[in-house]
Homo-oligomer: A and B are copies of this chain.
Amino acid sequence: MLTYSFENIDTESMYEHLYRCIKQDILQKKLKSGEKLPSKRTFAKNLGVSTITVESAYAQLVAEGYLYTLPKRGYYVCELEKGEAPAQPRPKPVLPRQQPRPTYWADFVSSSVARDMFPFSIWVKLLRDVTAREDETTLLTDTSAGGIRQLRQAISEHLYQFRGMTIDPEQIVVGAGTEYLYSVLIQLLGRNHGYAVEDPGYLRLSKIYEKNDVRTYHIPMDASGIQPDLLEESGAEILHITPSHHFPTGIVMPVSRRYEFLSWASKGENRYIIEDDYDCEFRLAGRPIPTLQSIDVMEKVIYINTFSKSLAPAFRISYLVLPKHLVTRFYDTLGFYSGTVSCLEQMTLARFLSEGYFEKHINRMRNHYRGLRDQFLGAIQKSPLARRVKISEENAGLHFLMELDTQRSDKEILQRAEAEGLRLSFVSQYYFRQEERQAHVLVMNYSGLEEGRITEAVARLCRAILPAPEEPGL
Protein backbone atom coordinates (compact mmCIF):
# COMPACT_ATOMS: atom_id res chain seq x y z
CA MET A 1 0.00 0.00 0.00
CA LEU A 2 0.89 3.64 -0.67
CA THR A 3 3.04 5.07 2.10
CA TYR A 4 4.68 8.40 2.89
CA SER A 5 7.08 9.61 5.52
CA PHE A 6 5.92 12.30 7.90
CA GLU A 7 9.41 13.20 9.09
CA ASN A 8 10.86 16.64 8.30
CA ILE A 9 7.60 18.25 7.43
CA ASP A 10 8.66 21.61 8.80
CA THR A 11 5.84 24.06 9.17
CA GLU A 12 3.40 22.23 6.97
CA SER A 13 0.38 20.71 8.61
CA MET A 14 0.05 16.90 8.36
CA TYR A 15 -2.74 17.11 5.82
CA GLU A 16 -0.87 19.60 3.66
CA HIS A 17 2.13 17.29 3.59
CA LEU A 18 0.01 14.31 2.62
CA TYR A 19 -1.80 16.39 -0.03
CA ARG A 20 1.53 17.44 -1.56
CA CYS A 21 2.93 13.87 -1.59
CA ILE A 22 -0.11 12.42 -3.33
CA LYS A 23 -0.32 15.30 -5.80
CA GLN A 24 3.33 14.82 -6.75
CA ASP A 25 2.82 11.10 -7.32
CA ILE A 26 -0.16 11.84 -9.56
CA LEU A 27 1.79 14.45 -11.54
CA GLN A 28 4.72 12.03 -11.92
CA LYS A 29 2.32 9.22 -12.95
CA LYS A 30 3.35 7.01 -10.02
CA LEU A 31 -0.35 7.03 -9.29
CA LYS A 32 -2.10 6.29 -12.56
CA SER A 33 -5.32 7.70 -13.95
CA GLY A 34 -8.30 5.66 -12.67
CA GLU A 35 -6.32 4.09 -9.84
CA LYS A 36 -8.23 3.70 -6.58
CA LEU A 37 -6.75 5.24 -3.45
CA PRO A 38 -6.80 3.45 -0.09
CA SER A 39 -9.89 4.07 2.02
CA LYS A 40 -9.53 6.94 4.46
CA ARG A 41 -9.61 4.71 7.54
CA THR A 42 -7.13 2.10 6.31
CA PHE A 43 -4.76 4.71 4.93
CA ALA A 44 -4.84 6.71 8.18
CA LYS A 45 -4.10 3.62 10.26
CA ASN A 46 -1.26 2.68 7.96
CA LEU A 47 0.33 6.12 8.01
CA GLY A 48 -0.20 6.53 11.72
CA VAL A 49 -2.25 9.72 11.30
CA SER A 50 -5.84 10.61 12.05
CA THR A 51 -8.66 9.91 9.61
CA ILE A 52 -9.33 13.66 9.52
CA THR A 53 -5.84 14.26 8.12
CA VAL A 54 -6.46 11.87 5.23
CA GLU A 55 -9.95 13.22 4.71
CA SER A 56 -8.67 16.81 4.47
CA ALA A 57 -5.92 15.86 2.03
CA TYR A 58 -8.38 13.92 -0.17
CA ALA A 59 -10.87 16.81 -0.03
CA GLN A 60 -8.25 19.27 -1.22
CA LEU A 61 -7.19 16.94 -4.06
CA VAL A 62 -10.82 16.59 -5.08
CA ALA A 63 -11.29 20.37 -4.98
CA GLU A 64 -8.31 20.83 -7.25
CA GLY A 65 -9.36 18.07 -9.64
CA TYR A 66 -6.64 15.47 -8.93
CA LEU A 67 -9.04 12.97 -7.39
CA TYR A 68 -12.70 12.19 -7.90
CA THR A 69 -15.08 10.28 -5.67
CA LEU A 70 -17.66 7.64 -6.45
CA PRO A 71 -20.27 7.59 -3.68
CA LYS A 72 -19.78 4.62 -1.34
CA ARG A 73 -16.88 3.32 -3.43
CA GLY A 74 -13.98 5.67 -2.69
CA TYR A 75 -11.39 8.00 -4.22
CA TYR A 76 -9.88 7.63 -7.70
CA VAL A 77 -7.12 9.43 -9.62
CA CYS A 78 -8.37 11.79 -12.35
CA GLU A 79 -7.05 11.67 -15.88
CA LEU A 80 -4.74 14.63 -16.48
CA GLU A 81 -5.21 14.44 -20.21
CA LYS A 82 -4.00 16.79 -22.90
CA GLY A 83 -1.14 18.47 -21.23
CA GLU A 84 1.78 17.70 -19.04
CA ALA A 85 2.64 19.15 -15.73
CA PRO A 86 5.98 20.90 -15.75
CA ALA A 87 8.65 18.47 -14.55
CA GLN A 88 10.62 21.12 -12.72
CA PRO A 89 9.46 23.94 -10.55
CA ARG A 90 9.64 27.08 -12.63
CA PRO A 91 12.70 29.19 -12.13
CA LYS A 92 11.86 32.53 -10.65
CA PRO A 93 11.65 34.95 -13.56
CA VAL A 94 14.28 37.60 -13.49
CA LEU A 95 13.49 40.77 -15.35
CA PRO A 96 15.65 43.79 -15.90
CA ARG A 97 14.60 46.53 -13.51
CA GLN A 98 12.69 49.30 -15.18
CA GLN A 99 15.23 52.06 -15.44
CA PRO A 100 14.35 54.89 -13.10
CA ARG A 101 14.16 58.15 -15.01
CA PRO A 102 17.60 59.71 -15.26
CA THR A 103 18.02 62.47 -12.74
CA TYR A 104 19.17 65.89 -13.80
CA TRP A 105 20.85 68.59 -11.84
CA ALA A 106 17.95 70.77 -13.00
CA ASP A 107 14.94 69.57 -14.99
CA PHE A 108 13.09 72.20 -17.05
CA VAL A 109 10.79 69.67 -18.73
CA SER A 110 8.89 67.68 -16.08
CA SER A 111 6.36 69.28 -13.84
CA SER A 112 7.56 68.68 -10.36
CA VAL A 113 6.71 70.00 -6.98
CA ALA A 114 8.79 72.04 -4.63
CA ARG A 115 9.82 69.95 -1.64
CA ASP A 116 8.07 70.70 1.62
CA MET A 117 5.27 72.56 -0.14
CA PHE A 118 2.55 70.00 0.43
CA PRO A 119 0.90 70.25 3.88
CA PHE A 120 1.14 66.57 4.80
CA SER A 121 0.34 67.17 8.46
CA ILE A 122 -2.97 68.83 7.58
CA TRP A 123 -3.77 66.07 5.13
CA VAL A 124 -3.14 63.37 7.75
CA LYS A 125 -5.17 65.29 10.34
CA LEU A 126 -8.12 65.55 7.96
CA LEU A 127 -7.82 61.90 7.06
CA ARG A 128 -7.87 60.92 10.70
CA ASP A 129 -10.92 63.15 11.25
CA VAL A 130 -12.63 61.48 8.33
CA THR A 131 -12.03 57.99 9.71
CA ALA A 132 -13.24 59.09 13.13
CA ARG A 133 -16.34 61.01 12.11
CA GLU A 134 -17.71 59.76 8.84
CA ASP A 135 -19.96 56.77 8.54
CA GLU A 136 -17.73 53.70 8.27
CA THR A 137 -20.02 51.81 5.95
CA THR A 138 -19.88 54.70 3.47
CA LEU A 139 -16.10 54.94 3.77
CA LEU A 140 -15.73 51.23 3.09
CA THR A 141 -18.32 50.72 0.40
CA ASP A 142 -19.10 53.91 -1.52
CA THR A 143 -17.87 53.26 -5.05
CA SER A 144 -20.23 55.58 -6.96
CA ALA A 145 -19.27 55.90 -10.62
CA GLY A 146 -19.27 59.70 -10.45
CA GLY A 147 -17.44 60.04 -7.15
CA ILE A 148 -18.71 60.64 -3.64
CA ARG A 149 -21.29 63.38 -3.07
CA GLN A 150 -19.19 65.38 -0.59
CA LEU A 151 -16.29 65.76 -3.01
CA ARG A 152 -18.50 66.71 -5.94
CA GLN A 153 -20.21 69.31 -3.77
CA ALA A 154 -16.84 70.72 -2.70
CA ILE A 155 -15.54 70.84 -6.28
CA SER A 156 -18.68 72.58 -7.44
CA GLU A 157 -18.22 75.28 -4.75
CA HIS A 158 -14.56 75.61 -5.61
CA LEU A 159 -15.39 76.09 -9.30
CA TYR A 160 -17.91 78.78 -8.40
CA GLN A 161 -15.47 80.66 -6.16
CA PHE A 162 -12.44 80.27 -8.29
CA ARG A 163 -13.70 79.95 -11.86
CA GLY A 164 -17.12 81.64 -11.64
CA MET A 165 -18.73 78.44 -12.94
CA THR A 166 -22.22 77.62 -11.73
CA ILE A 167 -22.60 73.89 -11.99
CA ASP A 168 -24.58 71.18 -10.30
CA PRO A 169 -22.51 68.61 -8.36
CA GLU A 170 -24.33 65.94 -10.39
CA GLN A 171 -22.46 67.17 -13.48
CA ILE A 172 -19.13 66.18 -11.95
CA VAL A 173 -17.44 62.84 -12.56
CA VAL A 174 -14.36 62.13 -10.44
CA GLY A 175 -11.66 59.77 -11.73
CA ALA A 176 -8.12 58.57 -11.13
CA GLY A 177 -6.31 61.05 -13.35
CA THR A 178 -7.14 62.82 -16.59
CA GLU A 179 -5.65 59.99 -18.65
CA TYR A 180 -8.25 57.67 -17.22
CA LEU A 181 -11.01 60.24 -17.75
CA TYR A 182 -10.06 60.60 -21.43
CA SER A 183 -10.86 56.91 -21.85
CA VAL A 184 -14.18 57.44 -20.05
CA LEU A 185 -14.97 60.25 -22.50
CA ILE A 186 -14.16 58.02 -25.46
CA GLN A 187 -16.61 55.43 -24.11
CA LEU A 188 -19.19 58.16 -23.53
CA LEU A 189 -18.87 60.05 -26.83
CA GLY A 190 -18.01 57.13 -29.08
CA ARG A 191 -14.84 55.62 -30.48
CA ASN A 192 -15.93 56.23 -34.09
CA HIS A 193 -15.72 60.00 -34.15
CA GLY A 194 -12.59 61.83 -35.16
CA TYR A 195 -10.82 63.63 -32.32
CA ALA A 196 -9.02 66.90 -33.08
CA VAL A 197 -6.04 67.99 -31.00
CA GLU A 198 -3.75 70.99 -31.06
CA ASP A 199 -0.50 70.93 -33.05
CA PRO A 200 1.85 71.75 -31.42
CA GLY A 201 0.41 70.30 -28.27
CA TYR A 202 0.56 67.82 -25.47
CA LEU A 203 1.86 64.76 -27.37
CA ARG A 204 0.87 62.34 -24.63
CA LEU A 205 -2.75 63.18 -25.38
CA SER A 206 -2.64 61.98 -28.97
CA LYS A 207 -0.77 58.89 -27.79
CA ILE A 208 -3.65 58.11 -25.43
CA TYR A 209 -6.19 58.55 -28.21
CA GLU A 210 -4.09 56.29 -30.42
CA LYS A 211 -3.90 53.55 -27.76
CA ASN A 212 -7.66 53.77 -27.45
CA ASP A 213 -7.97 53.16 -31.21
CA VAL A 214 -9.45 56.57 -31.92
CA ARG A 215 -8.81 58.54 -35.12
CA THR A 216 -6.88 61.68 -34.19
CA TYR A 217 -6.36 64.83 -36.25
CA HIS A 218 -3.52 67.20 -35.44
CA ILE A 219 -4.82 70.62 -36.37
CA PRO A 220 -2.35 73.47 -36.94
CA MET A 221 -2.63 76.55 -34.75
CA ASP A 222 -2.40 80.25 -35.52
CA ALA A 223 -1.84 82.95 -32.91
CA SER A 224 -5.36 82.43 -31.47
CA GLY A 225 -5.38 78.64 -31.30
CA ILE A 226 -6.53 75.87 -33.61
CA GLN A 227 -7.53 77.17 -37.04
CA PRO A 228 -11.31 76.83 -37.46
CA ASP A 229 -11.28 76.24 -41.23
CA LEU A 230 -8.76 73.41 -40.87
CA LEU A 231 -10.85 71.91 -38.06
CA GLU A 232 -13.94 72.02 -40.29
CA GLU A 233 -12.01 70.41 -43.18
CA SER A 234 -10.69 67.59 -40.99
CA GLY A 235 -14.14 66.16 -40.37
CA ALA A 236 -13.34 65.67 -36.69
CA GLU A 237 -16.31 65.82 -34.36
CA ILE A 238 -14.64 66.09 -30.97
CA LEU A 239 -12.35 69.06 -30.38
CA HIS A 240 -9.88 68.77 -27.52
CA ILE A 241 -8.35 72.13 -26.60
CA THR A 242 -6.60 74.09 -23.84
CA PRO A 243 -8.19 77.54 -24.27
CA SER A 244 -7.02 79.10 -21.00
CA HIS A 245 -3.38 78.30 -21.49
CA HIS A 246 -2.11 76.39 -24.45
CA PHE A 247 0.80 74.04 -23.94
CA PRO A 248 3.56 74.71 -24.98
CA THR A 249 3.00 78.10 -26.63
CA GLY A 250 1.05 79.68 -23.74
CA ILE A 251 -1.60 81.12 -26.09
CA VAL A 252 -4.81 82.24 -24.39
CA MET A 253 -7.64 81.74 -26.83
CA PRO A 254 -9.37 85.07 -27.46
CA VAL A 255 -13.08 85.25 -26.89
CA SER A 256 -13.88 85.64 -30.60
CA ARG A 257 -12.21 82.29 -31.40
CA ARG A 258 -14.09 80.75 -28.50
CA TYR A 259 -17.40 81.81 -29.97
CA GLU A 260 -16.35 80.41 -33.32
CA PHE A 261 -15.75 77.01 -31.79
CA LEU A 262 -19.01 77.08 -29.84
CA SER A 263 -20.73 77.91 -33.10
CA TRP A 264 -18.86 75.05 -34.83
CA ALA A 265 -19.95 72.64 -32.11
CA SER A 266 -23.60 73.68 -32.33
CA LYS A 267 -23.68 72.62 -36.00
CA GLY A 268 -23.40 68.87 -35.42
CA GLU A 269 -25.24 66.59 -33.06
CA ASN A 270 -22.10 64.62 -32.22
CA ARG A 271 -19.80 67.61 -31.98
CA TYR A 272 -18.34 68.37 -28.59
CA ILE A 273 -15.51 70.44 -27.17
CA ILE A 274 -13.28 69.05 -24.44
CA GLU A 275 -11.92 72.03 -22.51
CA ASP A 276 -8.72 70.96 -20.80
CA ASP A 277 -8.06 73.47 -18.01
CA TYR A 278 -4.95 71.67 -16.81
CA ASP A 279 -3.10 74.45 -15.00
CA CYS A 280 -5.55 77.31 -14.57
CA GLU A 281 -4.62 77.56 -10.89
CA PHE A 282 -1.22 78.91 -11.81
CA ARG A 283 -2.02 82.04 -13.70
CA LEU A 284 0.41 84.29 -11.86
CA ALA A 285 -1.01 87.71 -12.72
CA GLY A 286 -4.49 89.05 -13.26
CA ARG A 287 -7.78 87.25 -13.00
CA PRO A 288 -8.16 83.66 -14.12
CA ILE A 289 -9.32 83.47 -17.73
CA PRO A 290 -13.06 82.61 -17.82
CA THR A 291 -13.77 79.11 -19.04
CA LEU A 292 -15.35 78.15 -22.33
CA GLN A 293 -17.74 76.05 -20.27
CA SER A 294 -19.15 79.17 -18.63
CA ILE A 295 -20.22 80.73 -21.95
CA ASP A 296 -21.60 77.49 -23.44
CA VAL A 297 -25.40 77.60 -23.61
CA MET A 298 -25.72 74.69 -26.05
CA GLU A 299 -24.38 71.93 -23.74
CA LYS A 300 -21.42 71.31 -26.01
CA VAL A 301 -18.49 71.82 -23.66
CA ILE A 302 -17.01 69.15 -21.41
CA TYR A 303 -14.67 70.66 -18.85
CA ILE A 304 -11.77 68.61 -17.48
CA ASN A 305 -9.29 69.47 -14.74
CA THR A 306 -7.00 67.72 -12.29
CA PHE A 307 -5.71 67.96 -8.75
CA SER A 308 -2.50 66.22 -9.82
CA LYS A 309 -1.08 69.61 -10.90
CA SER A 310 -2.36 71.63 -7.97
CA LEU A 311 -1.72 69.16 -5.12
CA ALA A 312 1.07 66.97 -6.48
CA PRO A 313 1.49 64.54 -9.39
CA ALA A 314 1.26 61.51 -7.09
CA PHE A 315 -2.31 62.42 -6.12
CA ARG A 316 -4.42 60.84 -8.81
CA ILE A 317 -7.66 62.78 -8.66
CA SER A 318 -9.19 64.54 -11.65
CA TYR A 319 -12.71 65.41 -12.71
CA LEU A 320 -15.04 66.09 -15.61
CA VAL A 321 -17.89 68.57 -15.72
CA LEU A 322 -20.45 67.15 -18.12
CA PRO A 323 -23.27 69.09 -19.78
CA LYS A 324 -26.67 68.06 -18.46
CA HIS A 325 -27.76 65.70 -21.23
CA LEU A 326 -24.42 63.88 -21.04
CA VAL A 327 -24.89 63.32 -17.32
CA THR A 328 -27.95 61.27 -18.14
CA ARG A 329 -26.08 59.39 -20.86
CA PHE A 330 -23.16 58.77 -18.50
CA TYR A 331 -25.33 57.13 -15.84
CA ASP A 332 -27.37 55.20 -18.42
CA THR A 333 -24.39 53.72 -20.21
CA LEU A 334 -21.41 53.88 -17.84
CA GLY A 335 -23.02 54.22 -14.43
CA PHE A 336 -22.34 50.55 -13.69
CA TYR A 337 -18.60 51.27 -13.37
CA SER A 338 -17.08 51.60 -9.94
CA GLY A 339 -15.30 54.84 -9.17
CA THR A 340 -11.51 54.79 -9.44
CA VAL A 341 -10.48 56.93 -6.47
CA SER A 342 -10.59 55.51 -2.97
CA CYS A 343 -13.39 56.86 -0.84
CA LEU A 344 -11.00 57.82 1.97
CA GLU A 345 -8.97 60.00 -0.35
CA GLN A 346 -12.06 61.58 -1.91
CA MET A 347 -13.47 62.38 1.50
CA THR A 348 -10.15 63.86 2.66
CA LEU A 349 -9.90 66.03 -0.44
CA ALA A 350 -13.50 67.19 0.06
CA ARG A 351 -12.55 68.44 3.51
CA PHE A 352 -9.32 69.93 2.20
CA LEU A 353 -11.36 71.95 -0.31
CA SER A 354 -14.33 72.92 1.81
CA GLU A 355 -12.30 73.92 4.87
CA GLY A 356 -10.23 76.37 2.85
CA TYR A 357 -6.94 74.46 2.89
CA PHE A 358 -6.84 74.07 -0.86
CA GLU A 359 -7.17 77.81 -1.47
CA LYS A 360 -4.42 78.50 1.06
CA HIS A 361 -2.23 75.85 -0.53
CA ILE A 362 -2.75 77.24 -4.03
CA ASN A 363 -2.05 80.79 -2.90
CA ARG A 364 1.11 79.65 -1.20
CA MET A 365 2.21 77.73 -4.28
CA ARG A 366 1.37 80.65 -6.53
CA ASN A 367 3.45 83.00 -4.38
CA HIS A 368 6.26 80.52 -4.34
CA TYR A 369 6.22 80.12 -8.10
CA ARG A 370 5.90 83.85 -8.67
CA GLY A 371 8.96 84.43 -6.51
CA LEU A 372 10.84 81.65 -8.23
CA ARG A 373 9.97 82.98 -11.67
CA ASP A 374 10.97 86.54 -10.77
CA GLN A 375 14.30 85.46 -9.34
CA PHE A 376 14.99 83.18 -12.28
CA LEU A 377 14.07 85.80 -14.89
CA GLY A 378 16.05 88.41 -12.94
CA ALA A 379 19.12 86.20 -12.96
CA ILE A 380 18.74 85.63 -16.70
CA GLN A 381 18.43 89.39 -17.30
CA LYS A 382 21.63 90.02 -15.40
CA SER A 383 23.53 87.31 -17.26
CA PRO A 384 25.17 87.33 -20.69
CA LEU A 385 22.08 85.41 -21.87
CA ALA A 386 20.02 88.62 -21.71
CA ARG A 387 21.19 89.84 -25.10
CA ARG A 388 20.55 86.51 -26.77
CA VAL A 389 17.06 85.56 -25.55
CA LYS A 390 13.51 86.86 -25.82
CA ILE A 391 11.15 85.74 -23.08
CA SER A 392 7.37 85.49 -23.42
CA GLU A 393 4.23 84.06 -21.81
CA GLU A 394 5.58 84.31 -18.33
CA ASN A 395 2.30 85.09 -16.56
CA ALA A 396 0.50 81.87 -17.24
CA GLY A 397 1.14 78.38 -15.99
CA LEU A 398 4.49 77.18 -14.78
CA HIS A 399 6.55 77.66 -17.88
CA PHE A 400 7.66 80.46 -20.11
CA LEU A 401 9.06 80.51 -23.61
CA MET A 402 12.64 81.57 -24.28
CA GLU A 403 13.51 82.30 -27.89
CA LEU A 404 17.22 82.02 -28.59
CA ASP A 405 19.27 84.06 -30.96
CA THR A 406 21.76 81.36 -31.86
CA GLN A 407 23.53 79.64 -34.73
CA ARG A 408 23.55 76.32 -32.91
CA SER A 409 20.96 73.69 -33.82
CA ASP A 410 18.32 72.79 -31.24
CA LYS A 411 19.83 69.33 -31.08
CA GLU A 412 23.28 70.66 -30.30
CA ILE A 413 21.90 72.83 -27.52
CA LEU A 414 20.04 69.88 -26.01
CA GLN A 415 23.25 67.87 -25.98
CA ARG A 416 25.31 70.67 -24.48
CA ALA A 417 22.62 71.20 -21.84
CA GLU A 418 22.59 67.52 -20.98
CA ALA A 419 26.36 67.64 -20.49
CA GLU A 420 25.67 70.45 -17.99
CA GLY A 421 23.09 68.29 -16.17
CA LEU A 422 20.18 70.31 -17.55
CA ARG A 423 17.06 68.86 -19.11
CA LEU A 424 15.58 71.18 -21.71
CA SER A 425 12.94 70.96 -24.42
CA PHE A 426 12.13 73.05 -27.47
CA VAL A 427 8.69 74.00 -28.76
CA SER A 428 9.68 72.12 -31.92
CA GLN A 429 9.53 68.84 -29.99
CA TYR A 430 5.79 69.26 -29.41
CA TYR A 431 4.88 69.41 -33.09
CA PHE A 432 3.26 66.44 -34.75
CA ARG A 433 3.81 67.82 -38.25
CA GLN A 434 7.53 68.11 -38.64
CA GLU A 435 7.46 70.73 -41.40
CA GLU A 436 5.83 73.34 -39.17
CA ARG A 437 8.40 73.31 -36.45
CA GLN A 438 9.67 76.58 -35.17
CA ALA A 439 13.30 76.41 -34.14
CA HIS A 440 15.17 77.90 -31.18
CA VAL A 441 12.26 78.38 -28.76
CA LEU A 442 12.84 76.73 -25.40
CA VAL A 443 9.90 75.73 -23.18
CA MET A 444 11.14 76.49 -19.68
CA ASN A 445 9.17 74.68 -16.96
CA TYR A 446 10.69 76.14 -13.82
CA SER A 447 8.38 74.52 -11.24
CA GLY A 448 11.01 72.08 -9.99
CA LEU A 449 13.89 74.56 -9.81
CA GLU A 450 15.38 74.98 -6.36
CA GLU A 451 15.93 78.57 -5.29
CA GLY A 452 19.46 77.88 -4.18
CA ARG A 453 20.36 76.65 -7.63
CA ILE A 454 19.16 79.62 -9.68
CA THR A 455 22.52 81.37 -10.11
CA GLU A 456 24.31 78.19 -11.01
CA ALA A 457 21.47 77.12 -13.34
CA VAL A 458 21.78 80.37 -15.30
CA ALA A 459 25.55 79.89 -15.54
CA ARG A 460 25.02 76.40 -16.92
CA LEU A 461 22.41 77.69 -19.38
CA CYS A 462 24.94 80.27 -20.58
CA ARG A 463 27.54 77.59 -21.17
CA ALA A 464 25.05 75.42 -23.05
CA ILE A 465 23.56 78.16 -25.20
CA LEU A 466 26.11 80.92 -25.74
CA PRO A 467 29.10 80.70 -28.03
CA ALA A 468 32.32 79.83 -26.23
CA PRO A 469 35.05 82.50 -26.41
CA GLU A 470 36.87 80.44 -29.03
CA GLU A 471 33.74 80.28 -31.20
CA PRO A 472 33.28 83.94 -32.07
CA GLY A 473 31.33 83.11 -35.18
CA LEU A 474 28.37 81.59 -33.34
Q: How far is the CA of A255 from the CA of B211 in the complex (A)?
A: 36
- Does the CB pair A118–B92 fall under 8 Å? no
Specify which of A16, A123, A213 lies most central, judged by the most chain B CB atoms within 10 Å of its CB: A213
Task: Given A136-B120, A179-B337, check contact A342 B316 (CB 8 Å).
Answer: yes
B residues in contact with A131, CB < 8 Å: 120-121, 123-124
A187 is an interface residue with CB less than 8 A from chain B? yes
Give the residues from 332 to 390 in chain A that come closer than 8 angstroms, CB to CB, to chain B.
333-345
CB distance from A50 to the nearest CB of B (A): 16
Question: A402 interface residue, CB < 8 Å from B?
Answer: no
B342 touches A256 (CB 8 A): no
A93 adjacent to B123 (CB under 8 Å): no
A30 at the interface (CB under 8 A from B): no
Q: Quick one: which of B127, B176, B286, B336 contacts A180, CB cutoff 8 A?
A: B176
Q: For residue A201, which residues in chain B have a CB less than 8 angstroms away from its CB?
A: none
A256 near B81: Cβ-Cβ < 8 Å = yes
Inter-subunit contact B314/A342 (CB<8 Å): yes
- Alpha-carbon distance between A213 and B324 when the two chains are bound, in angstroms: 25
Contact present for A113 and B128 (CB under 8 Å): no
A34-59 at interface with B (beta carbon < 8 Å)? 56, 59
* Contact B141 A314, beta carbon cutoff 8 Å: yes
| Distance of A331 Cα from B345 Cα, bound (Å) | 28
Give the interface size class of chain A: 35 or more
| Interface pick from A167-175, A410-418, A423-431 | A167-175
Give A450 Cβ to nearest chain B Cβ, in Å: 11
A312-334, CB under 8 A of B: which get 1 and which 0? 11111100000010010001011
Question: Is B342 a contact partner of A82 (Cβ separation < 8 A)?
Answer: no
Task: Give the contacting residue for A340; candidates B86, B204, B316, B336; CB below 8 A.
Answer: B316
Q: CB-CB < 8 A to A142: which residues of B?
A: 314
**Residue of A137, A255, A262 with most chain B CB atoms under a 10 A cut-off:** A255
Bound-state CA distance A341–B136 (Å) is 21
Assess whether A93 is in contact with B168, with CB atoms less than 8 Å apart.
yes
Would you call A297 and B141 a contact (CB within 8 A)? no
CB < 8 Å neighbour of A66 from B255, B257, B344: B255
Q: Is A69 located at the chain interface by the 8 A CB criterion?
A: no
Complex CA distance for A331 and B95, rounded to whole angstroms:
12
Nearest CB of chain B from residue A323's CB, rounded to whole Å: 8
Known: A85-B295, A176-B316, A313-B143. A290 touches B338 (CB 8 A): no
A113 and chain B: residue at smallest CB distance: B140
A220, CB-defined interface residue at 8 Å = no
Q: Which residues between 162 and 195 of chain A lie within 8 Å of chain B, taking CB atoms?
A: 166-168, 170-171, 176-177, 179-180, 183, 187, 191
Given contacts A314-B343, A345-B342, contact A124 B113 (CB under 8 A): no
12 contacts between A and B (CB under 8 A): A56-B286, A65-B252, A65-B254, A81-B256, A92-B167, A93-B166, A93-B168, A138-B314, A140-B313, A207-B336, A314-B343, A315-B342
Closest 6 CB pairs of A and B: A65-B254, A83-B259, A314-B343, A140-B312, A176-B340, A95-B170
